[in-house]
Chains A and B, each alone.
Chain A
Amino acid sequence: MGTATRRVSAAGVGRPLHMRLIEREAPMGYILLLPTLLVLGVFLAWPFIFGLWLSVSSAELADPGHFIGLGNYNFEFKIDRPFWTSFWNTFLYTGVTTVFKFTLGLSMALLLNQIFPLQRFVRAALLLPWIIPTVLSTLAWKWMFDPTFSVVNWVAAHLHLVAAPGPNWFGGTSTAMAALMIVNTWRGMPFYGIAFLAGLQTIPLDLYEAARVDGASRWQQFLHITLPLLRPVLLVVLLLSTILTFADFQVPFVLTNGAPYNSTHVLATWAYQWGVPGGAIGLGASISLVLFPVLSIIIAGVLVLLRRPE
Chain B
Amino acid sequence: MDRMAGRWIRIYIPILLFILITLFPFYWMTVTSFKSASELFDFNQSPLFVAAPTLEWYKILFFQTNFWHWTVNTIIVAVVSTSISLFCSILAGYALGRLRFRGADAIGWGIFITYLVPPTLLFLPLAFVIRDLHLFNNLWALILTYPTFLIPFCTWLLIGYFKGIPKELEESALVDGATRWQAMVRIAIPLALPGILSAGMFAFTLSWNEFLYSLIFMNDSLSKTIPVGVTTEFIKGDEFYWGVLMAAALLGSIPVALLYSFFVDYFVAGMTAGAVKG
B-binding residues in A (CB < 8 A): 1, 4, 7-8, 11-12, 15, 19, 22-23, 25-26, 28-30, 32-33, 35-37, 39-40, 42-44, 46-48, 50-51, 54, 107-108, 111-112, 114, 116, 120, 122-129, 131-137, 139-144, 148-149, 151, 154-155, 186, 190, 194-195, 197-199, 201-202, 232-233, 236-237, 240, 243-244, 247-250, 253-254, 267-268, 271-272, 275-276, 281, 284-285, 288-289, 291-292, 295-296, 299
How many angstroms from the CA of A197 to the CA of B107 in the assembled complex?
30
A28-B95, A131-B256, A195-B271 given as contacts; is B125 within 8 A of A137 (CB)?
Answer: no
**Chain B, interface residues (CB within 8 Å), range:** 35 or more
How many angstroms from the CA of A122 to the CA of B12 in the assembled complex?
11
Question: For B216, what are the chain A residues with a Cβ–Cβ distance below 8 Å?
Answer: 276
Tell me which of B15, B26, B121 contacts A291 (CB under 8 A): B121
Q: Are A8 and B41 in contact, CB atoms less than 8 angstroms apart?
A: no
B115 lies within 8 A of chain A by Cβ: yes
A11-B177, A133-B226, A135-B211 given as contacts; is B257 within 8 A of A292 (CB)?
Answer: no
Question: For A15, what are the chain B residues with a Cβ–Cβ distance below 8 Å?
Answer: 179
What residue in chain B is nearest A285 (Cβ atoms)?
Answer: B124
A116-B15, A123-B264, A194-B268 given as contacts; is B125 within 8 A of A51 (CB)?
Answer: yes
Min distance, Cβ B65 to any Cβ of chain A, angstroms:
15
Tell me which of B22, B40, B89, B129 contacts A125 (CB under 8 A): B22
A-B contact pairs, 10 of them (CB 8 A): A4-B174, A25-B180, A28-B180, A36-B88, A43-B147, A47-B126, A137-B26, A143-B240, A143-B245, A281-B124
Beyond A135-B227, A135-B231, A267-B120, 15 additional contacts (C-beta under 8 Å) are: A1-B167, A36-B111, A39-B84, A46-B129, A48-B122, A111-B18, A124-B260, A128-B260, A131-B209, A131-B260, A141-B25, A194-B268, A195-B275, A202-B276, A281-B124
Which residue, A132, A237, A253, A272, has most C-beta atoms of chain B within 10 A? Answer: A132
Q: Are B121 and A30 in contact, CB atoms less than 8 angstroms apart?
A: no
How many angstroms from the CA of A39 to the CA of B209 in the assembled complex?
21
Tell me which of A48, A133, A268 contacts B120 (CB under 8 A): A268
Q: Are A111 and B14 in contact, CB atoms less than 8 angstroms apart?
A: yes
How many angstroms from the CA of A32 to the CA of B90 in the assembled complex?
9
A198-B275, A202-B276, A284-B124 given as contacts; is B100 within 8 A of A1 (CB)?
Answer: yes
What residue in chain A is nearest B242 (Cβ atoms)?
Answer: A143
B47 lies within 8 A of chain A by Cβ: yes
Min distance, Cβ A56 to any Cβ of chain B, angstroms:
13
How many angstroms from the CA of A288 to the CA of B41 in the assembled complex?
40
Tell me which of A11, A22, A28, A39 contacts B151 (CB under 8 A): A39
Q: Are A140 and B91 in contact, CB atoms less than 8 angstroms apart?
A: no
Question: For B259, what are the chain A residues with a Cβ–Cβ distance below 8 Å?
Answer: 131
A107-B14, A122-B15, A151-B28 given as contacts; is B124 within 8 A of A28 (CB)?
Answer: no
What residue in chain A is nearest B235 (Cβ atoms)?
Answer: A139
Q: Are A139 and B245 in contact, CB atoms less than 8 angstroms apart?
A: yes
Min distance, Cβ A75 to any Cβ of chain B, angstroms:
16
